[in-house]
Amino acid sequence: MNGTMMEYPLTLDHLLDRAQKLFGGVEIVSRLPDKSLHRHAYNDFHRRARALAGALIAAGLGPGDRVATLMWNHYAHLEVYFGAPLAGGVFHTLNPRLHPSDIAYIMNHARDRFLIIDDTLLPLFDRIREHVKVERVIVVALTGKPLPDGCEDYEEFLRSAPDGASLPALGENQAAGMCYTSATTGRPKGVVYSHRALVLHSFVCAMADTLGISGRDSVCPVVPMFHANAWGVPFTCTMVGAKQVLPGPHLDPVSLLDLFESEGVTVTAGVPTIWLGILQALEREPSRWKLVPGMRLAVGGAAAPEAMIRGYDRFGLQVVHAWGMTETTPVGSVSVLKRGMESLPPDERYAYRAKQGIAPPFVDMRVVAEGKEMPWDGASLGELQVRGPWVTASYYELPEASGQFTQDGWFCTGDVACIDAEGYMKIVDRTKDLIKSGGEWISSVDLENALMGHPAVAEAAVIAVPHPKWGERPLAAVVPKEQAKGTFTPGELRDFIAPKFPAWWLPDAVIVVDEIPRTAAGKFLKRALREKFQDWKWEEGGQKSE
C-alpha cells in the first residue's frame, strides 16, 4: 500500500517564492570590488532572479542549457543560482583561479551557451574567448567601466525580460547546477546537481546537528560560490530566510573581520587556510573586532587542525568541522558532539571535534580495504566510500571515470579514513598524499596538525619524498607566524611533536618556507611541493632538520 500523500516536487522555485512571501524584507549584503556594500532584500532577489529566468528563456535558453558564471560571491551570482534553474536551465560555476586552458576545457566539455561574468574578470575571459563557443556574454558591471564589444550589460539583460513571462514547471530530478572538481591530477570532472539534491542538502544543513542555519542567522559564506555551491549555504539561507552576507573578492582577514563585525555575522564557512589567517589577526589585535559571541565557523575542504579549534574557542567562537566533496554537494559529515560528550575531558572533546565527524541522515559511509569493509574501531584504515541522495552517481559525460563507483552503488572518495565506534570518521590522507616509509603508512595530516599546534607555526604541509632506504620519508614545509620568524629551530619543532608520534613518523627534514603553494580552492598544493623537493638529498642516516 502506498501513502496517501501528494507528490510535490522538491525544486528551487519553491524556496525562492517562499523566501519572498515570508522574508521579503530580509537583507542580502554584498561587498563590491571597491569595498562598498550593496544591499538589497529577498523581495528584490526574487523579482530579479525571476526576471533573469524570463530573459534567459527569451534569449533562447532551452531545457537543460548551461549558464556559466565567472563571479565572486555577490547578489548577481545568487540571482544566477536561482534564475538559471528557474528557466529550466543549469547554472555552471567556473573557478577563476584555474588555469585559463582548464577553464576553456571545462566550458567546452559542459557546452556552456551563456556566460555571466564580473567585469573585473573580463581580462581572464579575454584569454579564453577564442577557444570557447559561448554564445552570449553578459557582464555584471561592478566597477562601472564601459563594457567591451560583444558583451551585454546584466542590468539591461534583466530589463529585457518579457513582462509576466511564465516560467516552466520543474521536475525535482532535473539538473539545476553544475560544478567541475578542481582536480589536482587529470582533467576536471563534471558533477551535476539536481533540484532534489540541492533541496534535501539544504534541509540537512539547516539541522541543529549540522550547520544549524536558521532564519535568525546572518550568514557569510567565505567559501567561493564557484566551489561546490559555497557548500550549499546560499540555498540553505534562502530556504530559511537567513540574512546573507557575500564578501565579494575581499577575502583577506581584516576585510572579512570588518564585515563579520559590521553585519553581525553569526555563521560563516570556509577552508582552514582562511581561518588560520583570521586567527592570527585576532591574536595580533584581540580587542579590535566585536564579533557575535558564539559565532560558528564551518571549516572544511581540508582538515581543521585541533590547535585552531582550540584557538577559536579562546575567542568564544566555535569551529564546526565538516567534510565533503564537490561530488557530495558537498556536505558529507559534520563533527558535532553527541549527547553526553559535552562532559568528556577537554582533550577527548577536542579529539572528536577535530575528526571529520558523523554522517548526517541519508548519507551512508563505509571504509573499505582490499575489497573488505573495515570495522568501526577508530584504527582500521581504508578508502572512504559514501552514498546518499546528494552524492553523485556518475560524472558528466565521462564514462572512463566509472571506476570511482562500485558495483553495489557507492562512490569511492579517494580519501583514506577510519571510523570509530561512535561513528566519527577521521580523514587520514588523500590516497596519493599518504607517506609509505619502510612499508608502513604515515599520515601527513596528523603531522601537519601537530606542527600547526606549535605557537610559532602559521601553516605546515608534510609530503612524501623519495628515500633510498625507506622508499619515502616525510618532509615538512613550515611557514612561521609573522612575529615568530627566526625564533625557533626546525629541531625544536620536531621535539615539540615528538611525544605524539612513533619516532619513525617524525619528519626527517623540517624546512622553513615563506608560503605554501595553494590549489585553486585555497588548499595546500602538495603536488607542487613534491615536485620542488623530489630530489631532496637526505643526509646519511636521514636525520636532516634544515
Binding site for ligand AMP (CB under 6 A): 181-182, 228, 300-303, 321-326, 330, 356, 413-415, 427, 430, 521
Query: Angle at the Cα of 390 (from 388 to 396), degrees rounded to 5?
Result: 110
Report how far Cα 373 is from the mean position of its chain's Cα atoms. Answer: 28
CA 241/CA 244 separation, integer angstroms: 9
CA 134/CA 116 separation, integer angstroms: 10
Q: Which residue do the cell numbers 567585469 mark?
A: 119
Q: Which is nearest to 475 in space by CA: 457, 489, 456, 494? A: 494
Would residue 505 show up in a list of annotated catalytic residues for this protein? no
CA 278/CA 295 separation, integer angstroms: 13
CA 269/CA 327 separation, integer angstroms: 18
The nearer residue to ligand AMP, 323 or 488, going by C-beta atoms, is: 323
CA 326/CA 334 separation, integer angstroms: 16
Cell matching residue 113: 551557451
Indicate the angle between helix axes 306-314 and 346-354, nearest 10 degrees.
120
Report how far Cα 427 is from the mean position of its chain's Cα atoms. Answer: 16
Q: What are phi and psi of 107, to 5 degrees?
A: -65, -40
Nearest approach in angstroms of CB 526 to ligand AMP is: 11
What are all long-range contacts of 149-152, with beta carbons under 8 Å and residues at least 24 apart?
Answer: 151/122
Q: How long is the chain?
A: 546
Nearest approach in angstroms of CB 283 to ligand AMP is: 23
The catalytic residue among 372, 397, 441, 500 is 441
Cα dist. 430→182, 364, 414, 416 in Å?
Answer: 14, 19, 6, 6
Cell matching residue 247: 564578501
For residue 221, the one-letter residue type is P
Nearest approach in angstroms of CB 469 to ligand AMP is: 29
CA 284/CA 482 separation, integer angstroms: 10
The nearer residue to ligand AMP, 414 or 542, going by C-beta atoms, is: 414
The nearer residue to ligand AMP, 120 or 273, going by C-beta atoms, is: 273
Nearest approach in angstroms of CB 539 to ligand AMP is: 32
Nearest approach in angstroms of CB 360 to ligand AMP is: 14
Q: How far separated are the first and last CA of the chain, in Å rounded?
A: 71
DSSP element (H, E) containing 81: helix 75-86
Nearest approach in angstroms of CB 429 to ligand AMP is: 8
Nearest approach in angstroms of CB 324 to ligand AMP is: 6
Nearest approach in angstroms of CB 303 to ligand AMP is: 4
The nearer residue to ligand AMP, 266 or 413, going by C-beta atoms, is: 413
Q: What is the DSSP letter of 393?
A: S
Q: Which residues touch 449 (CB under 8 Å, ≥6 apart)?
A: 303, 305, 306, 307, 354
Q: Which residues touch 14 (CB under 8 Å, ≥6 apart)?
A: 199
The nearer residue to ligand AMP, 16 or 228, going by C-beta atoms, is: 228
Would residue 441 show up in a list of annotated catalytic residues for this protein? yes
The catalytic residue among 172, 263, 306, 327 is 327
The nearer residue to ligand AMP, 244 or 328, going by C-beta atoms, is: 328
Residue number with the smallest Cβ distance to ligand AMP: 326
Nearest approach in angstroms of CB 122 to ligand AMP is: 26
Q: What is the DSSP letter of 407?
A: T
The catalytic residue among 35, 338, 372, 436 is 436
Q: What is the DSSP letter of 57?
A: H
Are residues 426 and 443 in contact, defined by beta-carbon separation less than 8 angstroms? Answer: no
Q: Which residues touch 100 (CB under 8 Å, ≥6 apart)?
A: 124, 127, 128
Cα dist. 95→215, 517, 519, 528 in Å?
Answer: 29, 17, 11, 19
Are residues 418 and 275 in contact, defined by beta-carbon separation less than 8 angstroms? Answer: no
The nearer residue to ligand AMP, 80 or 230, going by C-beta atoms, is: 230
The nearer residue to ligand AMP, 13 or 415, going by C-beta atoms, is: 415
The nearer residue to ligand AMP, 309 or 475, going by C-beta atoms, is: 309
The nearer residue to ligand AMP, 323 or 470, going by C-beta atoms, is: 323
Nearest approach in angstroms of CB 426 to ligand AMP is: 9
Nearest approach in angstroms of CB 388 to ligand AMP is: 15
Q: Which is nearest to 124 in space by CA: 98, 87, 156, 150? A: 98
In DSSP notation, 200-221 reads HHHHHHHSTTTT---TT-EEEE
The catalytic residue among 11, 93, 120, 181 is 181
Cell matching residue 36: 562598498
The nearer residue to ligand AMP, 431 or 534, going by C-beta atoms, is: 431
Residues involved in catalysis:
181, 327, 436, 441
